[in-house]
Amino acid sequence: MIQRPVSPWSSPKLKGVMLIALLGVTAAIVGQGCPSTSTTPDPNAGLTGDYVGSERCFTCHSRTHDEWAQTRHAQSYNDLVQIGQEANEVCLTCHTTGYKQTGGFQSVATTADLASVGCEACHAAAGAHVRDVTNRALRPATSMTADWCGQCHNGFHHDTFAQWSGSGHAAVVPDVAEELAAGTVATSCGVCHSGDVRQAKIINGETITDAFLAGVEPDHQNAVTCAVCHDPHAKTGNAFNPPAGHDRQLRFAEVTYPDPTSTNTATVDATRFNLCGQCHHDRGRDWTSTSRGPHHSVQANFFTGEMPTPSGQSPLVTNIRTSHRFVEKQCVTCHMQHDESINDVAAEEGNVQLTHTFTVDNYVGCSNNGCHPSAAAAQADLTNLQTEVTNRLAAIATRMGDPTTWQYSSEGGPAAANQASVPTYIKKVRFLYEYVSVDGSKGVHNPPYAREILDTAEDLLTSNGK
């Protein structure tokens, strides 16, 4: 019979030694502070499953979550804590997620993951989606509508939503909206006039057809909404010198300095321009076009001091940069002045909001950069320039004669087949005339360039006996 070796640990003596040693170690551990058997309160014990919190969204949407985590939305509850308003029900409505909604925020003690403006504040409760992620019908809503933003960005702190609602950005141009509903122009006009098209094609990179909004009534189409200019999920670093701690989350650079050019390819290249210039740029028509003149969107080009020119030809007008390109925030300086109606809390935070009417309501910004001695002086200069440009445009139109003999075919001029009878010099003059007209600033965007264009048009008329 084989004898198996006896383990030395089977010795009663050694067992006693080991027991004493183990007791000593245990005592030492207890002496150093053994964890308490009491449990820490669950900060999310109040979550019912309707709202799940942004941390749950991280599981599948990690990149978007991490970008959101760097925004002020993710810190909005802390903003209340810093000013002692974390118990103010009025403030909690916008600084938390789902407050007073079924399963929404209650307190940081019971629903901590719903503090601040999380994913579900804009996309609605995601509980059903989390429980059945394969069901597309249960996925949280996504929308370009400004109504989501308007729930909080309202008159309580600043009237951004109401201001935008009264602006030209708030509605699709009626004739364009009708064409979009008819299933046309989505890939052309829709890229700038429709927030729905822009989100799909430019922001999401989707391939769309002209039928993209076919059947969608104009009243249900989104125009240039908040999310067209602002990225709701991420800090972008595109704002020029924003207040400390702010970012504005602009999708494109607020300020750029493109070199003026005259090629058709460059004048329609949105990547050269600032945020506003993504849509407010030329569409490629030049003086040889006969159906339509320059589009009503040449502001970025006019500001830059450039004009599309037919391939192989010299520009009609010398490129001239404007000194206005050096104003601190370019378009924003004049078209989005600081809102003087903000309350004391916003002012203390340094959160000076910019108006979203996009109209020039005052001329304070003109004197802030040391260019004009005062706002009143700037307004006087503007009035004088616009009067000059308006009068010169009227005189040029008179010298060209009856519009039915020189206008574009779609604008009351000779039919397409008869456009060849319009003299070449008149085609150049009408383009120059329209280029200044459709810019809309009456020369203000680039005064020396406006004058150069008008000089050229007048010289062409004079040299041809008009």
The architecture (CATH level 2) of 42-135 comes to Orthogonal Bundle (1.10)
Domain segments of the chain as ranges: 42-135, 172-222, 264-327+371-463
Q: State both tokens at 140.
A: 């949280």
Query: Does position 363 have pLDDT exceeding 90, yes or no?
Result: no
Give residue 365's pLDDT: 76
pLDDT, tens digit (0-9, with 9 covering 90-100), for 6-17: 333 333 433 343
Question: How many angstroms separate the Cα of 35 from the Cα of each of 25, 39, 77, 109, 129?
Answer: 15, 10, 32, 22, 38
pLDDT, tens digit (0-9, with 9 covering 90-100), for 299-357: 999 999 999 999 999 999 999 999 888 888 999 988 987 655 444 444 444 445 678 99
Which helix H or strand E contains 245, and what residues bound it? none
Are 389 and 436 within 8 A, CB to CB?
Answer: yes
Share of the chain above pLDDT 70, in %: 88
Give residue 438's pLDDT: 98
Are 273 and 296 within 8 A, CB to CB?
Answer: no
Q: CB burial class (10 A; 0-12, 13-18, 19+) of residue 315?
A: middle
Residues facing 310 on adjacent strands: none
Query: Does position 25 have pLDDT exceeding 70, yes or no?
Result: no
In whole angstroms, give the CA distance from residue 365 to residue 320: 23
Q: What is the mean pLDDT of residues 407-414?
A: 96
Shared fold status for 42-135 and 264-327+371-463? no
The architecture (CATH level 2) of 264-327+371-463 comes to Up-down Bundle (1.20)
Find all residues with CB under 8 Å of 296, minimum gap 6, and list them.
Answer: 438, 440
Q: State both tokens at 414.
A: 């000779």
